[in-house]
Structure 1
Amino acid sequence: MKDIGDLLGRIFLSFIFLYEAYDSIFYMKATKATMTEYGINWQQDFLLFSAIAVLVLGGLMILSGYRASLGAFMLLLYWVPVTFIVHSFWNDPPDEERLQAIMFMKNIAITGGLLMVWVNGSGRFSIKRLFATAKVPNA
């Protein structure tokens, strides 16, 4: 049961980041406008394309289980600063404070999931384990 839980957890966790990459690609103008709104003006194209690359690569690494710990670490380097920048509920007006606090706590929970993958690895059902246990036929 633990192995199935690890697999399902990795699938659900990776979809958050893969969807965010999709959203950033297909709504690039809106994403850049949001970055400007939060004061991220330095090298927006570089930062946006780097973020998309980290989201796709890290999400696929967690999904497949191949170097899932490295993928989780990469996503943590992106996710933690973004959480504190975008969902800084302590700076928001009272009418937005509650929603931003909920979004902040959601991101903290996702951070916990990433930390669990980083520390525990991918589990039994992963591409890495499949490659390690595959037998190559003799010629």
Structure 2
Amino acid sequence: MKDVADLIGRIFLSMIFFFEAYDSIAFFKQTKNTMTAYGLTWNQDMLLYAVIFVLVLGATLVLIGYYANLGAILILLYWIPITFIIFSFWNDPVEVRRIQSIMFMKNIAIVGGLLLLIVNGSGKYSVKRLIYRLKLPK
């Protein structure tokens, strides 16, 4: 059951990052406007392309379980700073502070899931294990 839960957890974790990448591509101009609103004005195109690449690569590695810990680390390099920039509920007006704090805690929970993936590995159902098992005898 643990192995199936590892696989399902990896699927769910990777889907949010695939969606984030898709959303950044589909709403490229709006994403750049949001970046400007939060003070991220330096080289926006390069930053946005880099973020999309990191999200897709990291989510793919997490999903297939091949170097899933590297994928999780790549995602964390993006996810942690963005969480503190976008959902800084302590700076928000009282009327939006509650929803922003909920979104902040959701992102922190996702960070926890990624850290668990880094520590525990991708589990039995992964491409990494499949490659290991298919090695030819010497």
Cα offsets for 1:58-114 (capped at 9, x unmatched): 000000000000000111111000000000000000111000000000000000000
In the aligned structure 2, how far is the partner of 1:121 from the partner of 1:53? 22
Match of 1:47 in 2: 47
The amino acid of 2:101's aligned partner reads A
Match of 1:82 in 2: 82
In the aligned structure 2, how far is the partner of 1:120 from the partner of 1:74? 17
RMSD: 1.3
Paired positions, count: 138
In the aligned structure 2, how far is the partner of 1:14 from the partner of 1:39? 28
Question: Which residues of 2 match residues 52-71 of structure 1 at below 5 A?
Answer: 52-71=52-71
- Structure 1 stretches of at least 4 aligned residues deviating more than 6 Å after TM superposition: none
| Deviation (angstroms), 1:136 | 4.7
In the aligned structure 1, how far is the partner of 2:28 from the partner of 2:118? 29
Match of 1:9 in 2: 9
Match of 1:27 in 2: 27
In the aligned structure 1, how far is the partner of 2:22 from the partner of 2:52? 8
In the aligned structure 2, how far is the partner of 1:59 from the partner of 1:82? 17
Structure 1: unaligned runs, 5 residues or longer: none
Cα offsets for 1:42-66 (capped at 9, x unmatched): 0101110000000000000000000
Match of 1:133 in 2: 133
Match of 1:123 in 2: 123
In the aligned structure 1, how far is the partner of 2:121 from the partner of 2:50? 24
| Corresponding position: 1:92 with 2:102 | no
| Deviation (angstroms), 1:120 | 1.1
Return the TM-score normalized by structure 1.
0.96
